[in-house]
Homo-oligomer: A and B are copies of this chain.
Amino acid sequence: MWVQRTLTLPASRRGFHLMTSRIVDAMPEIGSIQTGMMQVFIQHTSASLTINENADPDVRTDFETAMNHVVPESLPYVHTLEGPDDMPAHVKASMMGASVQIPIGGGRLKLGTWQGIYLCEHRDRGGARRVVVTLMGE
């Protein structure tokens, strides 16, 4: 069984944002998969996806602090035409990754208790973001 759907996530401010419910709600077929996998793939290069803590919003705030420290805007970049936030956004996107793959078992995502799916918006004004969600399994 294969299901694939493209979703548009509305524009988010720069930072890290929980998207689990929005994605799960769009994919009711998860419930009919006994064993399988869900992939979420973002079709952009300055926003990304990751899995992390789903409870305390401070964690998402601190992610932004940490990633700005790890990939500073002040490095001697050549690609600067789109603003100082652009090139760090590309690097952060590759560090976090363009996709997440989550196992499905018994009709549910097998996320741990504290895990959620983050949209990582690395641009100051990134606009809406498209993700392709693919389910596979039996």
Cα distance A59–B61 when bound, in Å?
A: 27
> Is A43's CB within 8 Å of the partner chain B?
yes
Q: Write the A77-101 contact mask toward B (1 if CB under 8 angstroms, else 0).
A: 1110000000110110111111111
A70 touches B67 (CB 8 A): no
Tally A residues with Cβ within 8 Å of B. Answer: 65
Dominant SS at the A interface?
mixed
Q: Write the A91-115 contact mask toward B (1 if CB under 8 angstroms, else 0).
A: 1011111111111010000111111
> Is A119's CB within 8 Å of the partner chain B?
no
B residues in contact with A136, CB < 8 Å: 36-37, 136
> Is A124's CB within 8 Å of the partner chain B?
no
25 CB < 8 A contacts A-B: A2-B137, A2-B138, A4-B35, A4-B105, A6-B110, A36-B136, A45-B52, A45-B53, A50-B94, A56-B79, A58-B77, A59-B90, A61-B78, A62-B75, A62-B87, A65-B75, A65-B76, A66-B71, A94-B95, A95-B96, A97-B97, A98-B115, A99-B102, A103-B134, A105-B132
